[in-house]
């Protein structure tokens, strides 16, 4: 019997089995766990100890308020009024949108989470902004690496927030949440995100696109839809969001956007991502998860 005949025989057996058991339900095997990468730029050393959970990698851009025309006009006016003969300089790309990337790691038991962020901002270099003023600056983009950690144990939760370049951060301890928040009902979703405007597929997941206008902006948000095998903790999670200006000089422009590039609902991650970095000076103070949401 050749390969083609064997293939036809297997197909007939499968059809016969389906006809004999019409009520049988085929269940897909759970997707195998995938390895989540360590965040670049943080020099983490693997601990060779695996933690199961969820990994998400997103990127986006924010509106850059730096305006060469405005600054140069202001500096010329200052010179005309007898001020120092200084004009600012601008590195290539310094006026372009500010990029950011975020990598989030969450343990399956919900007791540990970490958000590693790399964000661009415009810095005044080769001058002291406070002492020399904005007209003496050489404006250029620089990247900043920051980290937000959260760890729950028993009835308390610890939080750490730090920026690598500063070598310092904040640390707080408080009561842990007692109950998980229920998924919002439709009226709440409409209040927060607006009416359904369509659907998309991002990072291998279907998401429901909602649109709402508030004041001078329109926000479009895509929320994950439930799917077989997808953890309930991911239902309704934001996969993408864009904010558009409706009026004024930036009318029609996208002021800010973020999209999920990769989502691993069943990830294996090295425990190093949940460790507090060594060599950082922490001071007591309020810590929020704003680092997780650029």
Distance CA 41, CA 144 (A): 10
Out of 15-29, 124-138, 168-182, least confident range: 15-29
Can you tell me the mean pLDDT for 34-53? 95
pLDDT digits (tens, 9 = 90+) for 100-147: 999 999 999 999 999 999 999 999 998 888 888 999 999 999 999 999
Cα 9 to Cα 1, 19, 22, 24, 276: the distances in Å are 10, 15, 20, 21, 59
DSSP 135-193: GG-EEEEEEEEEEEEEEEETTEEEEEEEEGGGTEEEEEEEEPP-SPPPPPPHHHHHHHH
Q: What is the pLDDT of residue 154?
A: 87
Within 8 A by CB and 6+ apart from 37, the residues are none
Secondary structure of 119-140 in the HEC alphabet?
EEEEEEECCCHHHHCHHHCEEE
Residue among 207, 194, 210, 174 nearest 284 (CA): 174
Tokens of 284: 């007591």
Tokens of 40: 């670049």
Q: What does the longest C-alpha to C-alpha distance in the chain come to?
A: 98
For tokens 């975020």, the residue is 102
Can you tell me the mean pLDDT for 23-48? 77
pLDDT digits (tens, 9 = 90+) for 264-279: 999 999 999 999 998 8
Residue 1 has pLDDT above 90, yes or no: no
Residue 47 has pLDDT above 50, yes or no: yes
Can you tell me the mean pLDDT for 245-266? 91
What's the whole-model pTM score?
Answer: 0.82
- Whether residue 46 contacts residue 52, with contact meaning beta carbons closer than 8 Å, is answered with no
Which CATH superfamily does the domain covering 3-292 fall into?
Answer: Lipoprotein localisation LolA/LolB/LppX (2.50.20.10)
Q: What is the pLDDT of residue 267?
A: 96
pLDDT digits (tens, 9 = 90+) for 71-89: 999 999 999 999 888 999 9
Distance CA 52, CA 106 (A): 8
Can you tell me the mean pLDDT for 59-67? 96
Distance CA 10, CA 199 (A): 39
For tokens 């060599």, the residue is 279
Residues in the chain: 294
At residue 33, the 3 state secondary structure works out as: coil
Out of 6-10, 103-107, 280-284, least confident range: 6-10
Query: How much is the mean pLDDT over the chain?
Result: 86
Residue 205 has pLDDT above 50, yes or no: yes
Residue 223 has pLDDT above 60, yes or no: yes
């Amino acid at each position: 019997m050749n390969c083609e005949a064997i293939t036809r025989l297997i197909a007939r057996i499968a059809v016969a089995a389906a006809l004999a058991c019409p009520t049988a339900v085929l269940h897909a095997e759970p997707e195998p766990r995938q390895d989540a990468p360590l965040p670049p730029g943080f020099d983490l050393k693997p601990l060779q100890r695996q933690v199961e959970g969820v990994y998400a990698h997103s990127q986006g851009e924010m509106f850059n308020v730096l305006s060469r025309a405005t600054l140069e006009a202001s500096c010329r006016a200052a010179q005309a009024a007898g001020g120092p003969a200084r004009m600012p300089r601008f590195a290539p790309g310094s006026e372009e949108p500010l990029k950011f990337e975020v990598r989030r790691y969450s343990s399956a038991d919900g007791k540990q989470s970490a958000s590693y962020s790399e964000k661009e901002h415009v810095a005044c270099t080769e001058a002291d902004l406070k002492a020399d003023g904005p007209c003496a600056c050489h404006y250029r983009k620089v990247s900043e690496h920051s980290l937000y950690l959260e760890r729950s144990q028993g009835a308390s939760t610890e939080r750490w927030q730090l920026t690598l370049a500063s070598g310092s951060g904040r640390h707080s301890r408080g009561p842990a949440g007692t109950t998980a928040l229920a998924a919002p009902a439709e009226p709440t979703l409409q209040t927060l995100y607006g009416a359904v405007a369509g659907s998309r597929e991002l990072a291998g997941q279907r998401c429901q696109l909602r649109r709402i206008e508030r004041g001078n902006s329109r926000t479009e948000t895509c929320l994950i839809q439930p799917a077989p095998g997808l953890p309930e903790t991911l239902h309704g999670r934001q996969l993408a969001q864009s904010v558009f200006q409706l009026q004024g000089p930036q009318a029609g422009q996208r002021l800010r956007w973020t999209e999920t590039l990769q989502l691993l609902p069943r990830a294996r991650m090295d425990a190093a991502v949940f460790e507090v970095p060594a060599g950082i000076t922490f001071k007591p103070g309020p810590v929020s998860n704003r680092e997780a949401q650029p």
